[in-house]
Structure 1
């Protein structure tokens, strides 16, 4: 009996020592990968027309209708005016008309281009991404550009109800349906960054909202084909309800995703299309027709594509505000005109 107890004690001691060796002496787990080092620091834009640079002109080669690509990425886009300290390059992956599904991961294409988040992955592996700026949602259930088209058509046909009467009753429902799609796109971006070695603290993810391109303050003599052919009620609805409700939805999407949020809904106050006698003082394009495109059967359907988008002057303002926001620790802010007449992020007016 004593011999059995002695053997059992030895066996127990050996088992404990072996276990300790396996725990303490085994190979340590490999540290998680980190962002690339010794490479240029970059800021990347993903999204749709309001950040791609639609109407800002000077489009990147291959994005102005060539082989069906109408993404209209402009050298004047807001991303290129952020002027973030220490950033060597600004990269624009946005595409005019893009839905959030094409911004995220998956097989959705926009104007021949695939996933923007997928392209972000390649950049994140080769360069040090310090911020990702996103504008998306308006081309999902709200279909905001189509709504503006309907508003213009309502101006032509006075016998039909205005777009405010048609869209208003169901607008909140469309915004509510948009929110989870934007959340999914932001989650895809987070996934791409995580899979390429980034932790959330390694970069900033910013979701921006949209600015109303038109307003009830349109000059009376420009409420026609020379500028802004809209009914008064529709102009009021776009600024006071349409854009406001989209902004509230995007604010919720940012909150759910842990992204920072920049509210642009009031950024263009007094600078909307047709708000000034001199169009060079406006930050949005008026009804714009590319007459040469009308002569081409292939390009004619895109001849009005630049209408009612931020112009080059607007993008300079939005980019400056974005850059200043990136330099703060505020979770949210609103771009508003300061005493100097230029846009600045106002944290106290954020959500």
Structure 2
């Protein structure tokens, strides 16, 4: 499996090793793949949650992210790497922090990012040396300012004692039309590259996916909002009202708009809004990892908590699907690729099961 880049030998559509390619941002690059759940233990392996642990107090994120540690954060458990044998080769071009402009070809407004060429230009090399069958795309979240929304909502809980949802909703509404235009252009750019490489549109599929919610609804949070346990213990410093907005308004709004783009562009839609239901950070149905409750996809949280002091790892890993969440996303991709490319689906988990319990329902 390839973590990124492409071989040098030439291939044409229908020849060479088959490939599944991921493009876009941190939610598909593998950000937070270092972590198998969340633990309050800061030493050693953090009770088995830290896959970057070497020995003693030595840690090497490169064990998970390879040469992209501290940069694109392409993990060994990223969605495209966890999807199983849907192609001979998995190529991960996605990069943590990427916006749509980092996907476009340089010749059409694309911008290099973290020392790499725009992703569509990288795709051209992959398309030439492999027989690309699937391209999974996750993009738009950074254009909308996901990281800033999370930061502002957390600060409203910790410092300002106020809600964030109203101001943040206004900001999203002001941006979302332009952002979805860029998501659509990202699909167009992929099509242009593939056609130039000799691929018919029907010879491969593009899977355009939405985003999962990393936090639960207020009523599903196992910590009260009336003290500091959400900040100091759970790593989910958000008010119930803001949590409900994020889970039931923001995430569905984005999913609905991405679904519209997928329909307009004739690509497959994969809805991940409910992928981590009950497995979110601080969810009542999940548990932190302790000596009594070991790391497990069946019981642990599937998203990385907010570690604002970077006591464990980097702040950029916060609020992303972790190792377990990425295994689940990979299973979702495998399931949707097995379905007709003309149909959209939602991917959900089975309570108490690991990634093998993921299942599809028609996208609503």
Q: TM-score range by the shorter chain?
A: 0.7 to 0.9
Give the SS at the match of 1:262: strand
Question: Which runs of no fewer than 5 residues in structure 1 stay unpaired?
Answer: 1-33, 294-302
Alignment of 1:26-65 (within 5 A): 35-57=12-34, 58-65=63-70
Determine if contact 1:105/1:185 at 8 Å carries over to the other structure: no
Cα RMSD after superposing both structures: 1.9
Alignment of 1:240-319 (within 5 A): 240-275=248-283, 276-279=286-289, 280=295, 281-288=300-307, 290-291=310-311, 303-319=314-330
Higher relative contact order (CA 8 A, sep 6+): 2
Aligned to 1:183: 184
Of 247-256 and 108-117, deviating more is: 108-117
Structure with the larger helix share: 1
Give the SS at the match of 1:220: coil
Alignment of 1:88-99 (within 5 A): 88-99=88-99
Mapped to 2, the partners of 1:136 and 1:308 lie a distance apart of: 16
Alignment of 1:114-153 (within 5 A): 114-140=117-143, 142-153=144-155
Deviation of the 1:339 alpha carbon: 7.2
Of 225-234 and 268-277, deviating more is: 225-234
Mapped to 1, the partners of 2:64 and 2:99 lie a distance apart of: 20
Deviations 1:313-350 (A, max 9, x none): 00101111110110111520000124783211212xx1
Deviation of the 1:84 alpha carbon: 3.7
TM-score (norm 2): 0.78
Aligned to 2:232: 225
Mapped to 2, the partners of 1:44 and 1:304 lie a distance apart of: 27
Mapped to 2, the partners of 1:129 and 1:322 lie a distance apart of: 15
Aligned to 1:344: 359
Deviations 1:121-154 (A, max 9, x none): 00100111000000001111x2112100111111
TM-score (norm 1): 0.81
Deviation of the 1:37 alpha carbon: 4.3
Runs of 4 or more, structure 1, over 4 Å off, are none
Aligned to 1:79: 80
Q: Whose Rg is larger? A: 1
Mapped to 2, the partners of 1:126 and 1:269 lie a distance apart of: 39
Do structure 1's residue 110 and structure 2's residue 113 form an aligned pair?
yes
Mapped to 1, the partners of 2:64 and 2:114 lie a distance apart of: 15
Give the SS at the match of 1:291: coil
Mapped to 2, the partners of 1:245 and 1:292 lie a distance apart of: 32
Mapped to 2, the partners of 1:268 and 1:339 lie a distance apart of: 10
Determine if contact 1:104/1:186 at 8 Å carries over to the other structure: no
Aligned to 2:8: none
